[in-house]
Each structure stands twice: as C-alpha cells, then as structure tokens.
Structure 1
C-alpha cells in the first residue's frame, strides 16, 4: 500500500534525523513543530505523528534498506512537493548546526533520487543554515 504524502514527508524527516544513528529529543520536537505549523501538513492528525514515526523506524529496523525506504517515500510525494521534501529533511539535519558525515551521505542519497537540480538543493541548504544560526555566546 502506498504511503499518504504527508506520512512520506514525515518518514523523510525521521530518516534524516536518524541518519547519524542518534535521533535526539530536540530533533523529534523539531519534526513535531514543523508538522504542527507548515501548510503542507494541514489536515494531518497530529495524534498520528508518533505512529507514523514508529512505523518508519520499525521498517528500517526490520531490515528495509535506506535507499528503498527513501524511494518509497519519494514515490508518495507529488513532484511539485519534491523541493518541500528536501527542505524538510535539510531543516531537521541543520537544526543542531552540526552535520555529520552520515547526514551528508543521507542528503546526497536524497538529492540523487530527486528530480531537483543542484542549484535548487544548494539554495535550500543555504537557507536552512541561515534560519538556524544563533547569536554568538
């Protein structure tokens, strides 16, 4: 059964957050905040968020290959929302301002499987870094 588009977007955020093998509470709260406030999630039942996230993690823990999971999620996202899907994944990864090699590899995999040009993905990445910067201590 195909994933609903909103579930697929959440799956991509969960995969992004867990790509470094350490999904933090802050990343989960970030995902929850994005789901609560972005127009693409209008009509999504917020009470289902934990269920959708757990199903994604369960599939990966059961041995589904990451590339297959990404392909499945992207197949459920309409083409006009592919840039949104990438932006959501980047936003979750950029949230802590520390990007690991595993997270960079996940973004590379995502870019390779999407119909987005490099200029678009670079702009999305730069915008995420700018949004998450903090004032120096």
Structure 2
C-alpha cells in the first residue's frame, strides 16, 4: 500500500464521511467540491483532480479491509497540524445534508481515534459544524 498526499488524505476523510451511511447525497458532494475550491489548504491542489482522488478512495472501500486501509493512509499522510483540519472537514460533510446518521457518527469516532483528536477538540469541532449548517 503506497502513501497518499495530504490533499488526498483530506479528500479521503471527506469521501469516507459522505459514504459512511452508504448514501452520498448531492449536498455532501457539492460541499466536498466547495471545500476543495475554497479552503486554503487546497490552494495548491488542482480541483480537476478531485474526481480521480475521490474514485481512488471509493475503490479502496471495495476491499474487505478498505475502511481500515483508508484510515491508515489518512493517518500516515497527515502531519499533526492537519489532523484537526481533517476531522473538521469530515464533520462538515456529515452536517452538510442536515442529518447525522449513526454510521456517520461511528466513522467520525473512528477517524478521531486514528488521528488522535482529543475529545474536547472534537466536541468543539462538532459544535462548530452543527452551528455552520443549522437551519430554521
């Protein structure tokens, strides 16, 4: 298993969040595209590479141990200063369609543990995502 870039790792974190409930909604996919186009960590990432990066992540999920392999790749590719970022982006994807399903919450817990995001930081990140995506 070869490594991936920090850009790919962040995209994998978002794609896995979207796929966790086995339904990648339009809201989630649009949000991933918007994040890649606007978040500073992606300024040097060619947005046209997003579909192939997302497909690479999806291909991993076809393997029996695909989720574990993807989480290991994410963990290995991210420097400590981008681990909270990966968790925050995944939370934004979970919140994008207005519902957090149990499978998505389980994925976030797995990601948090793989990336060693402490509980207090995770709670703050989650609360921020809820606030950003709140509607009346």
Alpha-carbon RMSD across the aligned residues, in angstroms, is 1.0
For normalisation by structure 1, the TM-score amounts to 0.94
Q: Is the 8 A contact 2:60 2:69 kept in 1?
A: no
Question: Structure 2: 5+ residue runs without aligned partners?
Answer: none
For normalisation by structure 2, the TM-score amounts to 0.95
Q: 2: distance between equivalents of 1:56 and 1:65?
A: 9
Q: 2: distance between equivalents of 1:93 and 1:130?
A: 13
Describe the SS at the equivalent of 1:61. Answer: coil
Which stretch shows the higher mean deviation, 110-119 or 79-88?
A: 110-119
Following superposition, the deviation at residue 89 of structure 1 comes to: 0.3
Question: Structure 1: 5+ residue runs without aligned partners?
Answer: none
The within-5 A match list for 1:1-137 is 1-134=2-135, 136=136
Describe the SS at the equivalent of 1:62. Answer: coil
Q: Which runs of 4+ in 1 moved over 2 A?
A: 62-65
Equivalences, count = 135
